[in-house]
A = this chain, B = another copy of it.
Amino acid sequence: MSDENQELRRAGLKVTLPRLKILQILESSPVRHMSAEDVYRALMEAGEEVGIATVYRVLTQFESAGLVVRHNFDSGPALYEIDDGEHHDHMVCVETREVIEFHSEEIERIQQRIADEHGYEITGHSLVLHVKPKKDSKTKN
């Protein structure tokens, strides 16, 4: 509990009830990627009185503070997820909207090399695979 307290302070943000609650929701939700609306709904269900505008503002602040990462997977609302320091990319199932995370050192290296060859350095990247379940015989998952 004073755990989130610390996180907020470290981020240079005043510890307020909306910020605490939003951070708790992001950390405890079984769904890792949430829209502002998702967070807002979760707050409502928890009986918290927080305005949707505050949710947007807080999520933006959390992003600036490096507490969360914002994704624009496609059109539709942006999704936020806790930034646990572990960089990873995403697969989005086109059928279930499920989000699967993965990481490839190999791809990262190649990206670096390509940017370098073009005279650029990478400040960030976004890799999203749109996928659907294999109908294969020997599906390993």
Contact = CB atoms under 8 A, between A and B. Distances in A.
Interface of A: 72, 74-75, 78, 91, 93-94, 100, 102, 104, 106-107, 110-111, 114-134, 136, 139-141
Copies in the complex: 2
B130 A127 contact: no
Contact of A123 (B72, B115, B116, B130): B130
Contact of A110 (B107, B128, B132): B107
Contact of A117 (B118, B123, B127, B140): B140
B121 A134 contact: yes
A136 B115 contact: no
21 contacts: A72-B72, A75-B78, A102-B114, A104-B110, A107-B107, A107-B110, A111-B129, A115-B129, A115-B131, A118-B131, A119-B133, A119-B141, A120-B131, A120-B132, A120-B134, A122-B129, A122-B130, A122-B131, A124-B130, A125-B130, A127-B127
